[in-house]
Chain A
Amino acid sequence: MSPKKILNARQISTILHRLSFQLIEDHNNFSETVIIAIQPRGVYLAERIMELLINDCDEIKFGLLDVTFYRDDFRRSEKVLKANKTKIDFSIENKTVILIDDVLFTGRSIRSAMDALQAFGRPRAVQLLNLIDRRFSRELPIQPDYCGTQVDSRLNQRVKVCWKEKDNEDAVYLFKNS
């Protein structure tokens, strides 16, 4: 069955603008807030948001977090979990951290990310921003603070977020029974 397009480029652009305005509204000039993108797919979303924020704010601390070594499915999945680069060259002590990932599914990556964050300090608060919230698939009590759109999907379906930089178009697809 062919995949269903949930969001097109225009809709994504509208959502990104809305999310950026919400962030600016809540976090002012970002002096006490840092943005951390979750590797690998959260980085594209975070970079887009950063582009929009940078117009209104002078300097925003931005980091990349890889959660591979903190995952709870190590040795439980068939394949080796391959790591990506982590780059957080500032302290998150007493800062508000906004974690950014493209799709919120079971919540397990975010749990790992919160675990991983502890190595970089004790944040004042941690918030979550997602483009897609697959709201009926959660396995842990984790919800986004900033959400692009909610998608109702079954466990055997797959949501893929495509970005111009990587996949030649901005779009979100729902694949059935993959």
Chain B
Amino acid sequence: MSDLSVNHLLGIKYLNIKDLKLIFETTDHFKEVINRKIKKVPSLRDVTIANLFFENSTRTKISFELAQKRLSADVVNFSSSSSSVKKGETLIDTVNNILSMKVDMVVIRHPSPGASVFLSKNINSCIINAGDGTHEHPTQALLDAYSLIERLGQLKNKKILIVGDILHSRVALSNIFTYQKLGAEVMVCGPKSLIPRYIQSLDVKVETDLLKALKWCDAVNMLRIQNERMSESYFPSIREYVQQFGLNKNILDGLNKEIIIMHPGPINRGVEITSEVADSSQAIILDQVENGVAIRMAVMYLLASKLY
């Protein structure tokens, strides 16, 4: 019987292809569950999960919470803005205090890269990374890949493009690992200043001309400019960025093929993507959100089965 090779979900980096397939298979079943009239199963009814959000989030937080409730888990929520973190408590102390109240699983979002890996080494609990700084956002990458597989059948030899702020994006890194493990080719596109130097070591193609990149790909993931992580100016102006890297209807019409458009949200309409494109039938942005709940149910179900 198959089983995940890991006890935590810290990043896609730590998963193997069997893990990905098991997660996707389990997601199929949970997708059926959340489309029933009664969308709840009792699997995790004796599991308590803490959602620790040290950084803002709408989608991911709601998605995790819904997934937990549909699995019948008990949930406690924590956000740093209203907590004792403001009084100077350390991360380990905060989490250990919560765990001593008998919590089985921790979902954590944190602005520091590696926060979840750090916790998994110092804390005796199952950790799920819901985004750690510019490092990884594994559940987002899983739901992106799952949504693409729904449309394309499989990702082997498919060409996937990631456009935008690659440097500050945890989604980009997790996306790259996932697509490559599933056999797809990956290209990144964006201003040179927003493409990290380590990209060469990941066996990823780099292109600075959006039109060329779009002509190459089967699907594109449009990323947001992460202003909150920028301490200096990486490109002259938003207007210039939109002209060079914004996706609009005209560019798409000129391609002679229909590519799939993804966006992890939140969308800055009119910047990386126009409203017309975001709301078009080629965009699977809302499918991604729906699949997010099923993916997170699958991940928590599979990890919870390893708790004793």
Count of B interface residues, CB-CB < 8 Å: 27
| Count: A-B pairs, CB below 8 Å | 58
Judge if B2 is at the interface, Cβ distance under 8 Å.
Answer: yes
The dominant DSSP class at the B interface is: loop
Spot the interface stretch: B30-38, B153-161, B179-187, B222-230: B30-38
Closest-by-CB residue of B relative to A119 is B38
Assembly CA distance A168 to B227 (angstroms): 64
| Residue positions of B touching A, CB distance < 8 A | 1-4, 25-26, 28-29, 32-33, 36-38, 40-44, 46-47, 301-302, 304-308
Q: Do A82 and B37 form a contact, CB below 8 Å, given A66-B29, A69-B43? A: no
Assembly CA distance A115 to B72 (angstroms): 14
Query: A80, B1: Cβ atoms under 8 Å?
Result: yes
Assembly CA distance A87 to B38 (angstroms): 15
Assembly CA distance A116 to B29 (angstroms): 13
Assembly CA distance A81 to B29 (angstroms): 13
Query: B308, A75: Cβ atoms under 8 Å?
Result: yes
Closest-by-CB residue of B relative to A77 is B305
A77-121, CB < 8 A from B? 79-87, 115-116, 118-121
Q: Do A119 and B2 form a contact, CB below 8 Å, given A69-B42, A86-B29? A: no
Judge if A136 is at the interface, Cβ distance under 8 Å.
Answer: no
Query: B37, A120: Cβ atoms under 8 Å?
Result: yes
Closest-by-CB residue of B relative to A79 is B1
Q: What's the least CB distance linking B306 to chain A, in Å?
A: 8
Q: What's the least CB distance linking A65 to chain B, in Å?
A: 11
Q: Do A83 and B36 form a contact, CB below 8 Å, given A69-B42, A75-B304? A: no
Assembly CA distance A33 to B243 (angstroms): 63
Assembly CA distance A119 to B40 (angstroms): 8
Q: Do A83 and B38 form a contact, CB below 8 Å, given A74-B43, A74-B305, A75-B308? A: no
Closest-by-CB residue of A relative to B36 is A119
Query: A69, B41: Cβ atoms under 8 Å?
Result: yes
Which residues does chain B contribute within 8 Å of A74, judged by CB atoms?
Answer: 43-44, 304-305
A55-70, CB < 8 A from B? 66, 68-70
Contact with B along A10-47 (1 / 0, CB 8 A): 00000000000000000000000000000000000000
Assembly CA distance A115 to B307 (angstroms): 24
Which residues does chain A contribute within 8 Å of B26, judged by CB atoms?
Answer: 82-83
Query: B37, A83: Cβ atoms under 8 Å?
Result: no
Which residues does chain B contribute within 8 Å of A87, judged by CB atoms?
Answer: 32
Pull 28 A–B residue pairs with CB atoms less than 8 Å apart, ordered by A.
Answer: A68-B29, A69-B42, A70-B43, A74-B305, A75-B47, A75-B304, A75-B307, A79-B3, A80-B1, A80-B4, A80-B302, A80-B306, A82-B2, A83-B29, A84-B29, A85-B28, A85-B29, A85-B32, A86-B29, A86-B32, A86-B33, A87-B32, A116-B41, A119-B33, A119-B37, A119-B40, A120-B37, A120-B38
Taking a contact as CB atoms closer than 8 A, the residue among A66, A70, A81, A115 that contacts B305 in the complex is A81
Query: B305, A80: Cβ atoms under 8 Å?
Result: yes
Which residues does chain B contribute within 8 Å of A84, judged by CB atoms?
Answer: 29
Q: What's the least CB distance linking A109 to chain B, in Å?
A: 15
Which residues does chain B contribute within 8 Å of A70, judged by CB atoms?
Answer: 41-43
Taking a contact as CB atoms closer than 8 A, the residue among A66, A82, A116 that contacts B1 in the complex is A82
Query: A118, B3: Cβ atoms under 8 Å?
Result: no
Closest-by-CB residue of A relative to B307 is A75
Further pairs besides A70-B43, A118-B38: 4, Cβ < 8 Å = A69-B41, A70-B42, A120-B36, A121-B37
